[in-house]
Structure 1
């Protein structure tokens, strides 16, 4: 659940950055990537601290195509592993895949998964929806980016897959979190309509899942193999 709520927070920050730069030369891509790490911490409620390193891109045709963007990252990771071997980390200093968030981790931090923040939603593509923010309503009022929806995907090393729908207007109690595994340990036997989450949705959604899982797999295989026995 911590990762789900961290995704929502990152998506809100992503949307704010994209809204502020909308239409400028430094416009921000509607898609961003998150890498999750944990480190033991007795002071935290669950005994660990969650860290999130992020990557945002400038707006471009390449960065606007999410499956392609993730596929390119898989190739970048493979190339860096081939060139640098066990010394390579997605956090750098050589071949860094991130440019924000928690880029410096404590010793012993462990990779736990990868995620995506996207500003596209069931209300439309980001560029179309964001343009409406600049149009006054009949009452002369402008909408705010904080009224817009966003969504996230996360693939974790234990096989967990989550889709997080961040809706500012969701009903009380509706978290927007869909997961292929139960998030309630007291309901492990209930029917889960999202047990095959990564195979649901349209072609583009399934392509996002395939590429995100591929990215998580190559990073997990490399980073967890580096851990001391």
Structure 2
């Protein structure tokens, strides 16, 4: 039964969170397949990627918006293999681009044309599109670091059972401008009903009162995971302040 007291904005944000989950999963899978195909080659991909989320008005859509996703993948290198280091450098680059562009009377945008932070996805936006968040896709998981796991696919398995890239899990982290933090673990072998999604806010607008064990998601996990959240929040804060000045989430 649908609750009539839920505002359209609440429904829109709940729907947007689910759309981000879907986009993150899809991008992570594509990232992993491409990285596997190029593993060991001169153009090998790094294990981490950046996602930027924007919404544009679309009155014909159920919630009046469309989600646009631009992303950036890197070639494998010591810099791109370290997610914390990568996010730290991206924040520095974004801040520098904002200052440099302002000094020359221009307004920098992360999609370019100058100083672009992306190289794939929706690289052009409608004029009414606004920034709603960012995330990262990573091929590192509880199975191990990407390079180790990818190498194991090419070795003769001891138990005689060969795995493929389609057996491997991946994960994504995301922050949205309404304060949402999302973690998505994509696991092809997850039990039925286990979606691998942890979120600080509801994914169901009609479920307005419930205990959420993930309310403090960004403070949970090991030291590296918490540092990833901190660095992601720094970059998110820079982009949100620049792209949404004075705007409420």
Aligned to 1:70: 87
Moved over 4 A (4+): 138-141
Task: Determine the C-alpha separation between the residues in 2 that align with 1:169 and 1:138.
Answer: 20
Q: Which residues of structure 1 form unaligned runs of 5+?
A: none
The equivalent of 1:223 in structure 2 is 243
Cα distance, 1:137 vs structure 2: 3.5
The answer to whether residue 173 in structure 2 is matched with residue 156 in structure 1 is no
Q: What's the CA shift for 1:170? A: 1.2
Partner of 2:36: 19
| Mapping for residues 48-87 of structure 1, pairs under 5 Å | 48-85=65-102, 87=107
- Structure 2 residue 126 is matched with structure 1 residue 106: yes
Where does the alignment leave 5 or more consecutive residues of structure 2 unmatched?
1-17
Cα distance in 1, alignment partners of residues 60 and 147 from structure 2: 42
Does structure 2 conserve the Cα–Cα contact (< 8 Å) formed by 1:157 and 1:217?
Answer: no
Superposition map of 1:79-228 within 5 A: 79-85=96-102, 87-137=107-157, 142-225=162-245
Tell me, what secondary structure is at the counterpart of 1:214?
Answer: helix
Q: 1:194 to 1:139 in 2, by over 3 A?
A: closer
**TM-score with structure 2 length normalisation?**
0.87
Residue 9 (structure 1) aligned with residue 26 (structure 2): yes
How far apart are 1:138 and its partner, in Å?
5.6
Q: What's the TM-score, normalizing by structure 1? A: 0.95
Q: How far did residue 135 of structure 1 move?
A: 2.0
Using the TM superposition, give the Cα deviation of residue 192 of structure 1 relative to its aligned residue in structure 2, in angstroms: 0.7
Moved more, 209-218 or 82-91: 82-91
TM-superposed deviation, 1:187: 2.7
Query: What are the Cα deviations for residues 99-148 of structure 1, in whole angstroms up to 9, with x where unaligned?
Result: 11110111110100010000000111111111111123367664211110
| Separation (CA, whole Å) in 2 of partners of 1:140 and 1:196 | 42
- Quote the offset at 1:41 in angstroms: 1.2
More moved, 105-114 vs 84-93: 84-93
Alignment match, 1:36:
53
2:9: which partner in 1?
none
- Partners of 1:140 and 1:45 in 2: CA distance: 49
